[in-house]
Amino acid sequence: MLSFVLLLLLISGAQASYYGVVFSYSIGDLQPDGYPESNNFKVSFSSCAEFNSWLCDGECSEFPVYPVDERRSDWCQTAYIETFSTSFLTASDSPFHATNWTENRNGIELSAATRLIEIRNRSDINKPNSSPQTTIIPLLRVPSNCQRNINLLVSDPDGDDIRCRYAAGSECNICTPPSVLSVSSSCSLSFSPTNSSNEGPYAVQMVMEDFTGQNITLTNSSGVQEVKTTSDSISRIPVQFVFRVDPAAPSCTEGEYLPRFLSPTPEHGAQILTNVNQAVEIIVRAEATQAE
């Protein structure tokens, strides 16, 4: 973990086109050498080469990284995964600074985020906490004249309640939220039609937290305890991306200029079960009869 944070800090002053990050962590069942922990960083830049240069000076063959997706004219999202065993149960509130945001309308220059990693033992599940799990593409696009609602896909390994909000205070360098986008506690993004003067890209800096439905006790490796109530978040992860308002579309009817999903595309939020190391095929079909 420390080496990754140091890399982030070293390049914080370099010129880059940062498109955001999604972080999550998960804790497995107790093993002889401790609890298996996996930390997952999905980091996005304008290109995959830029990510490689940022993380490992262009040579990432020895690093646990893999490409997630890429749109060559806009962005590349790459995952960096750390796995290890931990036996020291504690909580760490660790800020990190990445690099320069891509150009945006709300004036965010240097990126920053915080991660509250809570791995003290929970009294309700008798193991450390795992964070909420989510993902998002680095660039969301909407026409300036079309109402759009986007419900983020979220889950929690411990069955906790997940809530979203905009970052504030030390959770960001400059925290100005995009004026054209609202976020609800249920992790729904809402965009209302706006005029052409508001078109362009916006940096979105969100925070996702998990809450329990009952009071619980957290115990660290020294036996020191802390009570968390239903109004106290347990962990906190950053969700950052770019939201771009495009010029108005001739029509907001899905299937004409805006894509419409067709069968056999899975429903939003559908759960697909598979075995470990088994390939999964998901067929997605869409149409926009008046556009490509």
- For residue range 29-51, what is the model confidence (pLDDT) as tens digits? 999 999 999 999 999 999 988 88
Predicted TM-score (pTM) of this structure: 0.90
Work out the burial of residue 205: count CB atoms within 10 Å of its CB; fewer than 13 is exposed, 13-18 middle, 19 or more buried: buried
Q: What dihedral angle (degrees, nearest 10) is formed by the CA atoms of 66, 188, 283, 261? A: -140
Question: How far apart, in whole angstroms, are the C-alpha atoms of residue 189 and residue 137?
Answer: 14
Question: How far apart, in whole angstroms, are the C-alpha atoms of residue 61 and residue 50?
Answer: 15
User: Residue ranges per domain, the chain?
Assistant: 2-248, 254-292
Question: How far apart, in whole angstroms, are the C-alpha atoms of residue 175 and residue 56?
Answer: 29
Taking Cα atoms as reference points, which of 186, 185, 133, 184 lies closest to residue 158?
Answer: 133
The order of strands in the sheet holding 148-151 is 148-151, 188-191, 181-183
Question: How far apart, in whole angstroms, are the C-alpha atoms of residue 99 and residue 43?
Answer: 11
Of residues 189 and 64, more confidence is placed in: 189
Residue 16 pLDDT greater than 80, yes or no: no
Taking Cα atoms as reference points, which of 147, 139, 153, 141 lies closest to residue 267?
Answer: 153
Q: Per-residue confidence at 66, pLDDT binned at 50, 70, 90?
A: confident
Question: How far apart, in whole angstroms, are the C-alpha atoms of residue 244 and residue 112?
Answer: 20
Q: Per mean pLDDT, which range of 101-105, 229-233, 237-241, 277-281 is the poorest?
A: 277-281
Rounded percentage of the chain residues whose pLDDT exceeds 90 = 79
Taking Cα atoms as reference points, which of 109, 117, 115, 81 lies closest to residue 95?
Answer: 115
Structure token pair of residue 236: 């906190």
Per-residue model confidence (pLDDT) at position 3:
39
